[in-house]
Amino acid sequence: MPLFGSRCQGLPLVLHRLRTTGNGPGSVGLVLLAVALVAAAALTRLAPRVLAASGSTLRPEPAASAQATPAAEAPPLVRVLIRQQTSLAVAAAASPLRLADGQGRSLGEIAAEQPFELRQDQTGLVVVMAGADGRAVTLGPLAGELWIVPLPAAGRSALVTVEGQLYRGRLQVRPGNDGRLLVINQLPLERYLPSVVGSEMPASWPQAALRAQAVAARTYALSQLKPSALFDLKATVDSQMYRGVASETDSTRDAVVSTRSQVLMQGRSLINAVFHSSSGGSTENSGEVWSRQLPYLVSVPDFDERSPVRQWQQRIEPEQLRRVFRETAGVSRIDVLAVSRTGRIRRARVSGPAGSLELSGAELRQRLGLRSTLVKGFRLVPVAGSSGASPASPGGGAIAQALVLLQPAAGPGRAPGAKPVAVPTNVGPVATPARPGVETEEPLSPAVLLDSATGAILSLLAPAPSAQGATAAIKTGAIKNAATKTAAVETAAVETAAVPNAAVPAEAVPAEAVPAAARQVGLDRSTPSAATPPQPALELVVEGRGFGHGVGMSQWGAYAMALQGRSYDQILRHYYRGVDLKPYVTP
C-alpha cells in the first residue's frame, strides 16, 4: 500500500495536490518533502542492505534496562509519555527537524521554526502544513508511527516544540487505539532530570533539597524502565512531573550534575524511591497504602510545618457529590471503618439516599479529589443561599454545620465508653507489623452531630448493632472556623486552603447520657411538624492534612531539613531507611 494510501496514489497525485494548494517559493520545500515521503514508501520494498549502504537509516534507540549500566555503555534513555490527544501542534525550534518512519528511514526535513499539525483520522496519521499562500497542505495518511528528530545546528540547541512547550531529545508519535495520538519523548536520563527537579520543586529551594530530589527522581526513573512497554514514564504525577525545557534552570541543572549517576539501592537492587508533597506530620508505611511493605519505606517524623498543605479544607458541592456517588445518589454520611497507624483512611462507607458503598481510602480520595487520605473530619453544611438557610441560623435547621466525630465502636478488647483511638502525629521507624494497622483497624463509627455555633447535640449517628453496644462521644463548646488563607502549591500547581490546628479530643460519654431525641440514625429529616421548614442543599466540607500518598520522601520536609543545614544524603537517609547511595554508572 502506498505511503499516502487512497489520498495520494503515487508521486504525480502528490505534485498535483501541491500545485493546486500552494504556489510560490514556499511550496518548493513541501514538494521536496512529498517526494521524499513517496520515495521512502518505494524503499520499503528494497533490501535492508541498500538502506544501510545509503546511510539513510535512522533507527529508534532501544530503551535501557533498569539494571546498573556498565561503565562502557552510554547513559540510559528514558521514554516519557508527554501528550495523549487527537491532534497536536508541533514546530521546529531554532534548528530543522527530520521526519522518519517506524523503521528509521528518513522521510524528509522540516525547516527551522516551521509549524505543522499532526492528526489521526480513520486511515492513519496525517501531517498538515501551511503552504506559501496560507492554505493547508495535507500529507498522509502515514502508515504506523512517526519519529520527529531535532537536528543540531551551529550554536543552536536541538529542540522541538509540542503544544507550545520545548523538549529535548526525539519524539515518537503513535496512533492510539482510542483515536488519540501518543507522543513519547525519548532522551538521555541526565538530560531529562533537570526538568523533573524543576517541575517537582521550586528551583529557588536550597541545593540540598534539589539534590535529594535529583537522586530520588533518577532512582525512580531507572526503576520504571520497561523495554517491552510503549513508554517508561508519564509526564504527570502518575510518575513524576516533567514539563520540558521550561522547568530547567541553572540550579536544577547543578543539582543533577553534582549528583550525576547517584542512585539509592538496597543490596544490589534499586529502591522504589517514591516521594510526595507533604505528609501532614508523619510519613506512612508502604504496607498501609499499598499491598507490599518495603523495609526502607517506613513511617518517620516529617518536618513539613512550612507546607501550605500541611492542613487543608475542601468543600464539595451537592451536585458533585451526586455525580461522583451515582450508586448512592449523593452523600448523607461517611463512616470511616479503618485507619492506618498515622490516621489515614483505609476503608470507609459512604451512605446516601439510594444506599451505601464501601471504598478504600485511595478510592474515596480519588472520587472526592482530596489532597490526601489523612482526613480529620467530614461536615455537611448548607450551601449559601439555598432554601432553608437563614442569616439568623447559618445552618438553617437541625442539620446545620453538623460535625461528624469518629470513635471506634465497642468490641473485643475495648469497653463501652472507652476514649477514641489516639492517632499519633509522629511515628518513628517500625518493623513490618504482622497485621498492618491492627491497633486501629476496628470499625470507627460516627458518634453525634453537633451544631457548630452552639455545641448542642443535633443527632446521634449510631453504629451498626453490636452485642457490646456502642459508645457515643460529644464535643462541647462552640466549634469555630478561623479564616483560611489560600496558598499556591508550586509542586503540583494547586490552590489550597490552610486551616488552623483543630481539635480538642472528643470526650467519651455513656450512650444513655445522650438525649433520647438525639438517638436517631443518620440525618432524619422526616420528623412531623406543623410547619416543616424547607431543607437546605448540603455541601460536604472535608478537613485534612498533607498532600499525596504520604510514603517516602516528603518534599516540604526535605526543604525544611535543607534549611536546617542537613545535606542531601542525610535527607535521603531519613526518608528512605537503611539504603545505600551508589553510582549506577561511571561518568
Residue 79 half-sphere exposure toward CB, CA atoms < 13 A: 21
Distance in angstroms (rounded) separating the CA atoms of residues 520 and 522: 6
Name the H helices within 73-226: 189-200, 207-223
pLDDT at residue 507, rounded to an integer: 37
Q: With cut-offs at 50, 70 and 90, classify the pLDDT of residue 54.
A: very low
Cα–Cα distance measured from residue 260 to residue 584, given in angstroms and rounded to the nearest whole number: 9
What's the pLDDT score for residue 386? 63
**Does position 286 have pLDDT exceeding 90, yes or no?**
yes
332 confidence band (pLDDT: 50, 70, 90): very high
- At 387 the pLDDT is 60
Distance between CA atoms of residues 276 and 237, nearest Å: 9
Q: Residues 159-179: what's their mean pLDDT?
A: 92
C-alpha–C-alpha distance, residues 2 and 23, integer Å: 25
Query: What pLDDT, on a 0 to 100 scale, did the predictor assign at position 388?
Result: 55
What number is the average pLDDT over the span 552-560? Answer: 98
Higher pLDDT, 356 or 485: 356
What pLDDT shows up at residue 204? 97
* Residue-averaged pLDDT of the chain: 72
Q: What is the distance between the alpha carbons of residues 287 and 2, in angstroms, rounded to a whole number?
A: 55
What pLDDT does 178 receive?
A: 85
Q: Has residue 393 got a pLDDT over 60?
A: no
SS (H, E, C) 93-106: CCCCEEEEECCCEE
Q: Give yes or no for residue 244 having a pLDDT over 90.
A: yes
Strand ranges for 70-123 from DSSP E:
77-85, 87-92, 97-101, 106-110, 115-121
Peptide bond into 295 cis (omega under 30): no
Q: What is the mean pLDDT of residues 63-87?
A: 70
pLDDT of residue 555: 98
pLDDT tens-digit profile of 106-119?
888 888 888 999 98
* SS3 per-residue string spanning 234-258: ECCCCCCCCCHHHHCCHHHHHHHHH
Question: Region 334-344: what's the mean pLDDT?
Answer: 96
Q: Which residue has the higher pLDDT, 129 or 238?
A: 238
Is residue 419's pLDDT more than 70? no
Model confidence at 144, in pLDDT bands (50, 70, 90)? Answer: confident
Average pLDDT in the 419-445 region?
34
Confidence at residue 389, expressed as pLDDT on a 0 to 100 scale: 55
Rounded to the nearest 5 degrees, what angle is found at the Cα of 222, between the Cα atoms of 218 and 228? Answer: 150
Cα separations (Å) of 414 from 408, 421, 442, 460, 579?
A: 9, 10, 10, 20, 39
Delimit the domains of the chain by residue range. Answer: 11-57+87-179, 321-525+533-544
Signed CA dihedral, 46, 51, 54, 56: sign only: positive
More reliable by pLDDT, 466 or 391: 391
- Residue 140: predicted pLDDT: 73
Q: What is the pLDDT of residues 15-38, one digit of tens each?
A: 233 333 444 444 444 444 454 444
Residues 6+ apart with CB under 8 A from 137: 17, 18, 21, 22, 30, 128, 129, 130, 131
Can you give the pLDDT at residue 499? 33
DSSP 8-state code for residue 521: S
Evaluate if residue 159 carries a pLDDT over 60.
Answer: yes
pLDDT at 482 over 70: no
417-to-50, 408, 457, 460 alpha-carbon distances in Å: 86, 10, 18, 15
Interval 329-346 mean pLDDT: 95
Residue 109, beta-bridge partner list: 98
pLDDT at 508: 37
DSSP β-bridge partners for residue 554: 276
Give the per-residue pLDDT at 130: 77
pLDDT at position 124, please?
79
Q: What is the pTM of this model?
A: 0.67
For residue 71, is pLDDT > 90? no
Q: Higher pLDDT residue, 379 or 510? A: 379
Report the pLDDT value the prediction gives residue 505, as an integer from 0 to 100.
35
Q: Is the pLDDT of residue 376 over 70?
A: yes
164: which 3 cell numbers? 507550545
pLDDT greater at residue 57 or residue 581: 581
CA distance linking residue 336 with residue 355, whole number of Å: 16
Q: Are 476 and 455 in contact (CB under 8 A)?
A: yes
Selection from 197, 220, 213, 196 nearest residue 270 by Cα:
220
Higher pLDDT, 555 or 175: 555
Cα dihedral sign for 63, 65, 68, 70?
Answer: negative
Predicted confidence (pLDDT) at residue 105 exceeds the cutoff of 60: yes
Asked whether the beta carbons of 491 and 509 are under 8 A apart, the reply is: no
Mean pLDDT of 86-98: 90
Query: Quick one: pLDDT at residue 300?
Result: 98
Q: What is the pLDDT of residue 106?
A: 84
> Band of the pLDDT at 350, cuts 50, 70, 90?
very high
- The 10 Å Cβ neighbour count of residue 453 is 14
Q: What pLDDT, on the 0 to 100 scale, is given for residue 474?
A: 29
Share of residues in the chain with pLDDT > 90 (%): 50
What is the rounded average pLDDT of the residues 399-421? 38
| Helix, coil or strand: residue 570 | helix
How would residue 73 be classed by pLDDT, with cut points 50, 70 and 90? low
pLDDT at 352 over 90: yes
pLDDT at 510 over 60: no
